[in-house]
């Protein structure tokens, strides 16, 4: 007889029974149909079933196998020829076959000792297809999936993969994501697996509830957390997404906050995150227990080190009896005592706080015990991981040498100096390891080099230069010796330059730096004619500079330099020159602008200079702490055609205010004076405006000649015709200052590279003589000033007589572009020559955009004077490719 239908369905029946048992939670015996819930107490014991009779297996045959050999199928089961076949043995064979996950269906039958195993193999996976995934790309999901092409399809693997994909979306905060797997049957027993993904919206934190808080509002406590409630104002913040790890961190933040406010017994009783029924949002509820508020009691220091007096140390602590208890101050004090011990050579000093809690008086006594430790010496300095950089480049930045007494402050300084090289990973630290004895220590620099070569091509638009193209190549660690070599060039509508440079920071392995720059710079100066930028003179500078620096102390450096420049300043003859009767060209100051005619020509400038620089900034590229001060003196005239001395000074200081705020102040000033009977040329003076002082235009601050053009009517009266020009003259003295506060944004904005700030800029440039009037040919206006201070001119007729105009009283900004032979009538004013400050306030944003660095400023001039040019909006943007 063949195997019964019940036997063939045994595996499916077993699954149903298992599922029923789990869901219902009832004992298996209670599932028997028509069985009473409890047996009568007097019922007789049920007799054991009689042993099942069977037949001897004569042969075993396999049907339905395609990819698998029959012998392979038989190897999965325990049935063998010669054994006795029973129903139990058949059930066991079925279970073994299904356990391989190679078959979608299997049957076992027995016909008088002939056992037939009929199988249907699981299909082979042809392709894995993902549909609907936009937030997580295929290359992120496919590596997490266990099912892959050419593998055997199994339902258990598919279920596991679905759970894995959903877990990936949960990590992104998308708890509403669903995955529906589908199977597409193909020929040759193959299938395509399609995962249809519905990503859903990101699950936000709708509400954060805090229960049990009495002394602080829920808003104050929520401000301490990294997780934020989803609001429109936090549209770009990533902190509004639910994250279990972030939630655990928030509990620590709450505890830290309360411990800094004196609540030493604070604890978070519970923290629960509930997903709303629509799976779109979370509601987080914290239950807290604040406890009592404590003050510091007696604060003592007990030192077991002979070089330390505990009483003296206790007097210098920032913790005082009667202050509110603050766990952060305790941590800072421990760190400070460790640093103090380390500065005296005790590398392994151990400072342990002992607490004396008085619950009745609500005081927290503290005793800082400095454990006994040996004085330590540097046994060895190991440098590892540098494949390109030579050991000496790193070793010379150490402030300690082998055999020196250990000093933790010098170790920190060494770490900062190595990081400032810019050759290695950002999070570099000098590691400290025990040496061969208790009083020995090994300093280990485990380096991870990063590329130091730079090849950059950039193009962009600037409100200063219009369209710009720049190219540069630089190697900051040339041949692994720490040398810098570079070549750069730029091109724009108003300037062109090319420059080659070389810097050796340790000349002949001595603590002396040497730098050489060779350059050619072409600059087209400009003024404004009406609202248009107008080119005036062209200046070409070819030269070089050699400089050498010597550190005087750890933070103080002296630099000497020599500069040789060959300048050629020229003007367009057709626009700014006049021709005399003999055909000679002469620069006309009324056309070219005051002082410009004196600057025309070729000159050689030989300049010797020096600088004294103090710098302890934590980061020179983007400082957050420290100050820098420099004094600079340059003297021209020991050779060449130009004679002047120039003195400049600048200073800046940065403070981290906590929570990412950085406040800075900067100041700068200088003067330039001629000597040997020489005056200062227009091209050597100081100029201020954009970008030095925001809120003003380019060269928009300081002395200038403002000219307004006039038109005569039929009655001989002169009126303004709407054309004007403005020539900035620069100054011999200047100062400027800036106060700026950098404002932190959420983590999402930080990832985008956004750094907004608010600022106040101030400055002035002044100290030149009032321009002298020059004679002009017939038809020009020359002469005197009116009672309002505006320059009036009298017309010189061909017969030598003069007539005075009385209507030329207005003043404007621009450039004189009188054509040869054309009579020009205008009025001029000399304005802006004052030391009084110009002040502007505003806000701006730095953005490291995908197109390159971008800076935008919106500012308002609060203090300005006649002649100053203001500007509200400025920006610079570029792209790299």
Model confidence over 99-142: pLDDT tens digits? 888 888 888 988 888 889 998 888 888 999 999 888 888 888 88
E strand intervals along 743-851: 754-766, 781-782, 794-796, 802-804, 826-831, 838-849
Give the model's pLDDT for residue 819. 30
Q: Which of 19-28, 579-588, 599-608, 735-744 has the lowest mean pLDDT?
A: 19-28
Nearest to 362 by CA among 293, 261, 298, 300: 293
Six-digit token pair at 863?
């203090």
Q: 704 near 867, Cβ under 8 Å?
A: yes
Residue 797 banded pLDDT, cuts 50, 70, 90: very low
Q: Determine the average pLDDT of the residues in 785-805.
A: 36
- Backbone conformation region of residue 2, classed left if phi is above 0, alpha if psi is from -120 to 50, else beta: beta
Q: Which of 106-110, 402-406, 468-472, 500-504 reaches the highest mean pLDDT?
A: 500-504
Q: Determine the average pLDDT of the residues in 811-823.
A: 32
Q: What is the pLDDT of residues 548-606, one digit of tens each?
A: 999 998 889 999 999 999 999 888 777 778 777 777 888 877 677 667 777 788 889 99
Question: What are the start-end ranges of the H helices in 438-588?
Answer: 573-576
Q: Determine the average pLDDT of the residues in 8-19.
A: 32
pTM of the model: 0.58
Q: What is the pLDDT of residues 863-878, one digit of tens each?
A: 999 888 888 887 765 4
Give dist(CA 596, CA 526) in Å, integer. Answer: 12
Nearest to 154 by CA among 94, 99, 101: 101
Q: Which of 138-147, 755-764, 796-805 has the lowest mean pLDDT?
A: 796-805
E strand intervals along 413-512: 431-434, 440-446, 453-462, 466-478, 483-492, 495-504
Q: Is it the case that residue 346 has pLDDT exceeding 90?
A: no
Q: Is it the case that residue 774 has pLDDT exceeding 80?
A: no
Give the model's pLDDT for residue 752. 64
Q: Determine the average pLDDT of the residues in 426-447.
A: 86
CA atoms within 13 A on the CB side of 22: 5
805 vs 734: which has the higher pLDDT: 734
The chain-wide mean pLDDT, for the chain, equals 79
Question: What are the start-end ranges of the H helices in 76-180?
Answer: 87-99, 138-141, 155-171
Q: Is it the case that residue 762 has pLDDT exceeding 60?
A: yes
Q: Which residues are within 8 A (CB) of 748 and not within 5 positions of it... i.e. 6 or more apart? A: 236, 237, 238, 239
Six-digit token pair at 54?
């069977």
Give dist(CA 238, CA 204) in Å, integer. Answer: 10
Q: Which of 18-22, 28-32, 341-345 reaches the highest mean pLDDT?
A: 341-345
For residue 281, report the phi and psi dihedrals to the nearest 5 degrees.
Answer: -140, 160
Q: Is it the case that residue 708 has pLDDT exceeding 80?
A: no
Q: Which of 194-198, 675-679, 827-831 has the lowest mean pLDDT?
A: 827-831
Q: 771 near 705, Cβ under 8 Å?
A: yes
Residue 816 banded pLDDT, cuts 50, 70, 90: very low
Q: Which residues are within 8 A (CB) of 541 and not within 5 positions of it... i.e. 6 or more apart? A: 519, 520, 521, 522, 523, 565, 566, 567
Give the model's pLDDT for residue 801. 34
Give the model's pLDDT for residue 736. 96
Give the model's pLDDT for residue 493. 73
Give the model's pLDDT for residue 614. 95
Give the β-pairing of 453-462 and 873-880. Answer: antiparallel
Q: At what angle do helices 87-99 and 10-24 cross, to 10 degrees?
A: 80
Give the model's pLDDT for residue 37. 39
Give the model's pLDDT for residue 741. 93
Q: Is it the case that residue 800 has pLDDT exceeding 70?
A: no
Q: What is the pLDDT of residues 152-169, one digit of tens each?
A: 888 888 899 999 999 888
């Amino acid at each position: 007889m063949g195997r019964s239908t019940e036997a063939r369905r045994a595996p499916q029946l077993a699954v149903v029974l298992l599922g029923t048992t789990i869901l219902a939670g009832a004992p298996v015996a209670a599932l028997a149909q028509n069985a009473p819930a409890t047996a009568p107490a007097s019922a007789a014991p049920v007799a054991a079933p009689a042993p099942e009779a069977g037949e001897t297996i004569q042969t075993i045959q396999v049907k339905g196998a395609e990819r698998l050999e029959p012998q392979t199928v038989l190897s999965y089961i325990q049935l063998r020829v010669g054994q006795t076949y029973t129903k139990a043995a058949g059930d066991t064979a079925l279970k073994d076959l299904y356990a391989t996950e190679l078959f979608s269906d299997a049957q076992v039958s027995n016909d008088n000792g002939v056992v037939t195993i009929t199988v249907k193999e699981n299909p082979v996976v042809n392709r894995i297809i993902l549909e609907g995934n936009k937030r997580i790309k295929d290359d992120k999901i496919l590596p997490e999936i266990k099912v892959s092409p050419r593998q055997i399809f199994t339902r258990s693997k598919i279920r596991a993969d679905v759970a894995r994909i959903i877990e990936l979306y949960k990590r992104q905060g998308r708890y509403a994501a669903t995955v529906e797997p589908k199977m597409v049957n193909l020929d040759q027993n193959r299938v395509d697996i399609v995962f249809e993904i519905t990503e859903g919206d990101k699950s936000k934190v709708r509400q954060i509830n805090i229960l049990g808080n009495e002394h602080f509002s829920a808003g104050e406590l929520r401000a301490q957390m990294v997780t934020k409630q989803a609001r429109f104002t936090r549209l770009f913040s990533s902190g509004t997404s639910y994250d279990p790890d972030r939630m655990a961190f928030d509990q620590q933040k709450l505890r830290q906050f309360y411990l800094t406010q004196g609540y030493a017994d604070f604890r978070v009783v519970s923290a629960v995150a509930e997903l709303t029924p629509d799976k779109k949002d979370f509601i987080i509820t914290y239950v807290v227990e604040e406890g009592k508020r404590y003050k510091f009691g007696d604060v003592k220091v007990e030192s077991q080190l002979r070089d330390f007096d505990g009483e003296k140390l206790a007097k210098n602590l920032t913790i005082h009896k009667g202050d509110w208890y603050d766990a952060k101050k305790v941590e800072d004090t421990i760190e400070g005592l460790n640093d103090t011990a380390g500065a005296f050579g005790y590398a392994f000093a151990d400072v342990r706080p002992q607490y004396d809690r008085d619950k009745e008086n609500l005081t927290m006594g503290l005793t800082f015990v400095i454990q006994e430790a040996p004085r330590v010496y540097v046994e060895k300095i190991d440098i590892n991981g540098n494949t390109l950089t030579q050991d000496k480049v790193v070793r010379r930045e150490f402030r300690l040498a082998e055999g020196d007494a250990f000093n933790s402050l010098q170790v920190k300084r060494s770490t900062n100096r190595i990081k400032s090289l810019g050759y290695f990973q950002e999070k570099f630290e000098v590691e400290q390891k025990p040496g061969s004895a208790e009083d020995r220590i090994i300093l280990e620099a485990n380096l991870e080099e990063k590329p130091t070569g730079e090849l950059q091509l950039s193009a962009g638009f600037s409100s200063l230069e219009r369209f710009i193209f720049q190219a540069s190549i630089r190697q900051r660690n040339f041949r692994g010796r720490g040398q810098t070599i570079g070549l750069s060039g730029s091109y724009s509508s108003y300037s062109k330059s090319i420059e080659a440079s070389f810097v050796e920071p340790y000349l002949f392995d001595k603590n002396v730096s040497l730098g050489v720059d060779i350059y050619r710079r072409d600059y087209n100066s400009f003024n404004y004619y009406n609202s248009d930028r107008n080119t005036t003179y062209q200046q070409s500078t070819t030269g070089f500079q050699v400089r050498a620096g010597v550190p005087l102390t750890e933070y103080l450096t002296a630099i000497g330099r020599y500069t040789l420049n060959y300048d050629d300043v020229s003007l367009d003859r057709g626009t700014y020159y006049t021709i005399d009767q003999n055909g000679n060209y002469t620069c006309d100051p009324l056309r070219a602008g005051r002082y410009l005619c004196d600057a025309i020509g070729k000159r050689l400038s030989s300049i010797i200079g020096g600088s004294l620089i103090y710098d302890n900034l934590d980061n020179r590229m983007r400082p957050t702490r420290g100050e820098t001060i420099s004094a600079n003196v340059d003297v021209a005239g020991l050779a060449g055609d130009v004679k002047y001395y120039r003195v400049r000074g600048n200073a800046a200081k940065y403070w981290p205010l906590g929570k990412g705020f950085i406040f800075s102040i900067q100041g700068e000033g200088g003067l330039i004076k001629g000597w040997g009977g020489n005056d200062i040329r227009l091209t050597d003076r100081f100029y201020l405006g954009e970008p030095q002082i925001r809120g003003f235009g380019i060269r928009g601050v300081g002395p200038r000649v403002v000219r307004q053009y006039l038109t005569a009517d039929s009655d001989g009266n002169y009126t303004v015709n709407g054309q004007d020009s403005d020539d900035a003259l620069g100054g011999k003295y200047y100062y400027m200052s800036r106060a700026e506060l950098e404002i932190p944004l959420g983590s999402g904005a930080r990832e985008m590279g956004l750094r907004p700030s608010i600022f106040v800029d101030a400055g002035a440039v002044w100290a030149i003589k009032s321009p002298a009037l020059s004679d002009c040919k017939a038809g020009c206006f020359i002469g005197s000033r009116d009672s309002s201070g505006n320059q009036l001119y009298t017309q010189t007729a061909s017969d030598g007589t003069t007539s005075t105009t009385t209507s030329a009283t207005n003043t404007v900004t621009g450039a004189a572009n009188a054509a040869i032979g054309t009579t020009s009538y205008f009025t001029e004013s000399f304005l802006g020559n004052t030391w009084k400050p110009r002040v502007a306030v505003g806000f701006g944003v730095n953005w490291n955009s995908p197109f390159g660095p971008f800076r935008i400023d919106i500012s308002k001039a609060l203090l300005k004077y006649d002649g100053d040019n203001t500007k509200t909006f400025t920006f610079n943007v570029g792209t790299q490719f």
